[in-house]
Amino acid sequence: MPAQARGYFMPKKVIMTPEDIKRTLARIAHEIVEQNKSAEHLVLVGMRTRGVPLANRLAALIEDFEGLKIPIGALDISLYRDDLSSTNHQPIVQHTDIPASIDDKSIVLVDDVLYTGRSARAAMDALIDLGRPNLIQLAVLVDRGHREMPIRANYVGKNVPSSRHEEIQVQLLETDGIDEVAITDTADDRTKPSKADCSGRN
Q: Is residue 23 part of a domain?
A: yes
Residue 118 is assigned to a structural domain of this protein: yes
pLDDT (0 to 100) of residue 78? 86
What are the b/e assignments for 44-83, b being 16+ CB within 10 Å?
bbbbbbbbbbbbbbbbebbeeeeeeebbbbbbbbbebbee
Q: How confident is the model at residue 3 (pLDDT cuts 50, 70, 90)?
A: very low
- The tens digit of pLDDT for each residue in 42-100 reads 999 999 999 999 999 999 999 999 999 999 999 999 877 655 544 454 444 456 888 87
Question: Is residue 1 a part of any domain in this protein?
Answer: no
Model pTM?
0.83
Say if 44 falls within a structural domain. Answer: yes
In a domain, 68, yes or no: yes
Asked, for residue 172, whether it belongs to a domain, the answer is no
Percent of the chain scored above 90 by pLDDT?
Answer: 69
- Residue 4 is assigned to a structural domain of this protein: no
Q: Structurally, how many domains does the chain consist of?
A: 1
Mean pLDDT throughout 29-38? 93
Euclidean distance between CA atoms 136 and 121, whole angstroms: 11
Supply the mean pLDDT for the chain.
Answer: 86
What pairing do the DSSP bridges indicate for beta strands 106-114 and 135-143?
Answer: parallel
Q: Report yes or no on 176 lying in a domain.
A: no
Question: From CA 17, how far away is CA 67, in angstroms rounded?
Answer: 28
Domain that holds residue 85: 18-164
CATH number for the domain including 112? 3.40.50.2020
Digit-coded pLDDT (tens) for 96-141: 888 878 999 999 999 999 999 999 999 999 999 999 999 999 999 9
The backbone torsions φ and ψ at residue 67, rounded to the nearest 5 degrees and listed phi first, read 65, 25
